[in-house]
Amino acid sequence: MHKYYEEAKEFGKKYLADEANEVDVEGRFPKASVDALRKAGYFGLVIPKEYGGQGKGIEEHAEVCTGLAESGASASLCYMMSNVGAYCLSLYASEEMKKDILPRVASGEIILGLAYSETGSGTHFYRPDMTEEPHDGYSILNGRKSFVTTAREADYYLTITHSTKDGSNNLWLVPRDAEGLSFESTFNGLGLRGNVSDPMVLDHVKLDDSCKIPGNGDGDRLIFIVGLASSSAGISMAIADAAAKYVKERSYTSGKSLADIETVEVNVAELKARAYAARETLFAGAASVAAEEEDGFPNVIAARITTTEAAVKNGTEGMRLFGGIGYVRNVQPMERLMRDSLGAQVMAPGLDVLKVWLGRLSVDLPYLND
């Protein structure tokens, strides 16, 4: 039924699952997983065919990211960030930039990262403090971005700046080796530890105007929110599947397994139903965007809220089914999955911000008028 989801799910089991626990323990970038995605051509998913990509859209993006997240949530998030960047470039970049960057992303030669969030604006990443000082043919960028997923590992970073000249917000494509660009080593996440979400500092970084993409890039907000929702949907299902496997295998000296207990069966059913509902809500929201339906944006926000809350709830309930052994590190996957499930609440835009947006959209008010 969901072809790209099923294919990505199987790919994740084969190439992402084995590295997931090691990445979590060491708090490092999932290099082997990302390299496998490069070789398989996944980074070209949403890149138009004329630039060497597959020409797919938000629906396929949702399916692939969800399927991958069931085996490796950190790898899936790093992958989806590059997808969002590529999609944004395909919409807004100059033809010169598209021809230079997109074919190399599609082939897996390079990957992209997003540097949006800032300490000063929290989850309101569309209000940057980072400045661009325009000059003749170039600009000087100064500021600090917090929680940059794929820090140091991406080849280019999309970032948002505030012009000192006219007050406009603009996007820039910043190469990793730009003079004046550096990363702080501060990330030691509770969960999703393979994201390596360190702060990025731009100290008088001089960029040619050819690196500038005028405007805020609002079109990529949809695919970004869908990608974050996909992570939670995948984690929710991973918890449900892990719990079902565990209760079947866990037996007492009497020979009776946990799965033979009716209340346990009810709890497993609740995990599965919650994960399924979250996943299908996400896929339906992505489909409404692809169909250019009027309520596509609020549907996607609703899906992000639903998947986030489903992941957190499944993390709590799943741990109860595993009991004490689930609470011990590196014995069962539940402890890692529970920690991973908590991340979506604080990823920009955060859960409360999303609820404010959805509430305002529901009563026909400007959602960013805050």
Mean pLDDT in residue range 307-331: 96
Whether residue 311 sits in one domain with residue 297: yes
Q: Provide the pLDDT confidence category of residue 123 given band limits of 50, 70 and 90.
A: low
Mean pLDDT in residue range 265-290: 98
Q: By CB neighbour count within 10 A (0-12 exposed, 13-18 middle, 19+ buried), where does 334 fall?
A: buried
Mean pLDDT in residue range 70-83: 98
CA dihedral 344, 79, 234, 27 (to 10 degrees): -60
Helix or strand run (H / E) with residue 206: strand 198-208
Q: Which of 47, 66, 57 minimizes the C-alpha distance to 6?
A: 66
pLDDT, tens digit, 9 for 90 and up, residues 9-35: 999 999 999 999 999 999 999 999 999
| Residue 370: inside a domain | no
Task: Domain of residue 79: give its range.
Answer: 3-110
Q: Provide the pLDDT confidence category of residue 258 given band limits of 50, 70 and 90.
A: very high
The total number of structural domains in the chain stands at 3
Neighbours of 262 (CB within 10 A): 7
The predicted model scores a pTM of 0.96
Whether residue 349 sits in one domain with residue 231: yes
Whether residue 124 sits in one domain with residue 192: yes
Whether residue 259 sits in one domain with residue 153: no
Q: Provide the pLDDT confidence category of residue 158 given band limits of 50, 70 and 90.
A: very high
| Residue 369: inside a domain | no
Whether residue 123 sits in one domain with residue 92: no
Whether residue 135 sits in one domain with residue 223: no
| Residue 21: inside a domain | yes
| Residue 235: inside a domain | yes
Whether residue 353 sits in one domain with residue 233: yes
Name the token pair of 38. Answer: 């490069």
> CATH number for the domain including 234?
1.20.140.10
Mean pLDDT in residue range 203-209: 98
**Domain end point (choices 84, 110, 136):** 110
How high is the mean pLDDT of the chain?
A: 95
Exposed e or buried b per residue across 44-64, where buried means at least 16 C-beta atoms within 10 angstroms of its C-beta: bbbbbeebbbbebebbbbbbb
Q: Is 152 strand, coil or helix?
A: coil
- Cα gap 180→206, rounded to integer Å: 8
Neighbours of 346 (CB within 10 A): 14
Whether residue 349 sits in one domain with residue 286: yes
> CATH number for the domain including 105?
1.10.540.10
Name the token pair of 101. Answer: 């960057």
- Scanning the chain, the segments in alpha helix (DSSP H) are 3-15, 17-26, 31-39, 58-69, 73-92, 95-106, 219-249, 262-290, 296-322, 324-327, 334-342, 351-362
Number of residues written out for the chain: 370
| Residue 326: inside a domain | yes
Name the token pair of 63. Answer: 């399916």
Whether residue 73 sits in one domain with residue 22: yes
Residue 219 has what pLDDT?
Answer: 57
Q: Which of 344, 292, 338 minimizes the C-alpha distance to 315?
A: 338
Beta bridge partners of 289: none
- Cα gap 320→265, rounded to integer Å: 13
| Residue 307: inside a domain | yes
Q: Which of 22, 15, 13 minimizes the C-alpha distance to 37?
A: 15
- Is the pLDDT confidence value at 302 over 70? yes
> CATH number for the domain including 136?
2.40.110.10
Q: Is 59 strand, coil or helix?
A: helix
Q: Provide the pLDDT confidence category of residue 348 given band limits of 50, 70 and 90.
A: confident
| Residue 106: inside a domain | yes
Q: Which of 212, 244, 245 minimizes the C-alpha distance to 92?
A: 212
Whether residue 280 sits in one domain with residue 250: yes
Give the C-alpha distances (Å, rounded to integers) separating 20 from 69, 71, 222, 268, 307.
Answer: 10, 7, 27, 23, 21
Residue 338 has what pLDDT?
Answer: 98
Whether residue 167 sits in one domain with residue 104: no
Whether residue 357 sits in one domain with residue 235: yes
**Domain end point (choices 110, 143, 177):** 110
Question: Is the pLDDT higher at 77 or at 214?
Answer: 77
Name the token pair of 224. Answer: 């970004």
- Cα gap 280→354, rounded to integer Å: 19
| Residue 367: inside a domain | no
**Domain end point (choices 66, 89, 110):** 110
Peptide bond connecting 298 to the previous residue in cis, omega within 30 degrees of 0: no
- Cα gap 44→107, rounded to integer Å: 7
Question: Is the pLDDT higher at 229 or at 330?
Answer: 229
- Cα gap 53→316, rounded to integer Å: 40
Name the token pair of 310. Answer: 């489903």
Residue pair 120/129 in contact (Cβ under 8 Å)? The answer is yes
